[in-house]
Amino acid sequence: MFKRVVTSEKELRDLMGTPSERAIRKESPFIDAPSREFIAHAPFLLLATSDSTGRCDVSPKGDAPGFVRVLDERHLVIPDRPGNRRLDGLRNLLDNPHVGMIFLIPGREETLRVNGRAAIVRDDDVLESLEAKGKRPRVAIAVEVEECFLHCPKAFRRSQLWEPAAWPDRSVLPSMACVLYDKLQPEGKSLEDYVRESEEGIQRTLY
């Protein structure tokens, strides 16, 4: 399909150039004080994983700010709250421990990027520390940090992600419940019933 494909780092560098000294030196091999503070205020992150064959997955994780706990300058833990039980990311970790994360804070144009090696843990003291709404997670994702750095705001400036005036009307795209209703065609249920039950299920299983 494509006729001009970049196939080497030299070709890539010839096209894109080299990073500035600031871009290189901002990277830290541990969680420094500014990064720890960013994580403490972040209610949302994206967790990227890959299995042994290279099949990738990116999973959103979110809760109240501080839901990710920094244990020390090299380790953090993420609670695994109830989801759809596909376990795509967790199954990947069993094959390949390498992870990449992007932490986001609403309204902040910078993001925090953290890379490292992860494991699925069940330590009682860890799970108890991650309890929310009276319920503790069944497992947590423990990450040994290898790289940590803030990322520039250009993507947010270009996308106007935090600018409500630039947001599309919610009616432009159907909700996930509507999409699934059309795909699954549940017998004996109206669209309205399916949408209502989907929302009730989400609220019932948040924790």
Mean pLDDT of 44-66: 97
Taking the C-alpha atoms of residue 23 and residue 15, their distance in angstroms, rounded to an integer, is: 18
- In this prediction, residue 68 has a pLDDT band, given cuts at 50, 70 and 90, of very high
pLDDT given at position 6: 97
Q: For residues 103, 107, 109 and 110, what is the CA-based torsion angle, rounded to 10 degrees?
A: -40
End-to-end CA distance of the chain: 45
Q: How far is CA 8 from the centre of its chain?
A: 29
Residue 203 region by backbone torsions, left for phi larger than 0, else alpha for psi between -120 and 50, else beta: alpha
Give residue 59's Cα distance to chain centre: 5
pLDDT digits (tens, 9 = 90+) for 16-48: 999 999 999 999 999 999 999 999 999 999 999
Q: Percent of the chain having pLDDT more than 70?
A: 100
Assigned token pair, 147? 């790289």
Q: Rounded distance, CA 42 to CA 61, Å?
A: 11
Computed over every residue of the chain, the mean pLDDT equals: 96
Q: What band does 127 get if pLDDT is binned at 50, 70 and 90?
A: very high
50, 58 contact by CB (below 8 A): no
- Quick check: 77 and 67 in contact, CB under 8 A? no
**Beta-carbon contacts of residue 73 (< 8 Å; ≥ 6 apart):** 30, 31, 32, 36, 145
* 3-state helix vs strand vs coil in the chain, percent to 5: 35, 25, 40
Instruction: Count how many residues are written for the chain.
Output: 207
Q: Please state the pTM of the whole predicted model.
A: 0.94
Residue 172 is predicted with a pLDDT of: 93
CATH 2.30.110.10 matches 20-159: yes
Confidence at residue 157, expressed as pLDDT on a 0 to 100 scale:
96
Q: Domain extents for the chain?
A: 20-159, 168-204
